[in-house]
Structure 1
Amino acid sequence: MSNNKTDWRFKVANREALIGCGLALLNFVWWFGFAYGMGSRPVEEYSYILGMPDWFFYSCVVGFILITALVIVVVKFFFKEVPFEEEEETQ
């Protein structure tokens, strides 16, 4: 059984977890910025896109599409396949 402090898979997993947390934080900042930034105006000043208030369109629709695309790109180019089997110790 390999030691988790020296196993290279833990470094990969930690790096990918940090990337995932960064994407989640980016998603929240995007959503919060548009939802509360543009959504805090009086209703009479709202602009509408496809029948939705602009703040909702940008925070929920565009944000979802953007984050989905970013997750696909990150998984395809920055994540790597890691075997789950235990590696044999060579002595």
Structure 2
Amino acid sequence: MSDSDPRYKIANREALIGIGLAIFNFIWWFAFAYGLGGKDPSDYTYVFGLPAWFFYSCVLGFVVMAVLVTIVVKKWFVDVSFDEEGNET
């Protein structure tokens, strides 16, 4: 497999998409965890018995990321063969 192999381009694109999803996940988590959780605990609101900051950052964040990853993988990721294309030995 050489540097001009089109599989490198596909792998790089998919890696960048994965990094983008990870950054989005961190921003989502951080914004809700510290945005809603940065106040006095006596002022917390609750969703399904959980503090709102925890519910939105961890529970809903997980669901959103699971849906996003599923959509991205089905729509933009492609199946790539790992077999050598020719006999280069």
- TM-score normalised according to structure 1 size: 0.92
Measured after TM superposition, the shift of residue 34 of structure 1 is 0.3
CA distance in 2, matches of 1:80, 1:21: 17
Between 1 and 2, higher relative CO (CA 8 Å, sep ≥ 6) is seen in 1
CA distance in 1, matches of 2:29, 2:75: 25
Measured after TM superposition, the shift of residue 44 of structure 1 is 1.4
Give the alignment's Cα RMSD to 1 decimal: 1.0
Partner of 1:38: 36
CA distance in 2, matches of 1:70, 1:34: 18
Measured after TM superposition, the shift of residue 88 of structure 1 is 1.8
What is the aligned length?
87
Letter matched to residue 63 of structure 2: I
SS in 1 for 2:38: coil
Superposed CA deviations along residues 5-39 of structure 1, whole A, max 9, x for unmatched, are 21000000000000001101100100000001110
Measured after TM superposition, the shift of residue 45 of structure 1 is 1.1
Partner of 1:54: 52
| Matched ranges for 1:1-91 at <5 A | 2-3=1-2, 5-88=3-86
Percent of aligned positions that are identical: 54
Structure 1 gaps, min length 5: none
- TM-score normalised according to structure 2 size: 0.94
Structure 2 gaps, min length 5: none
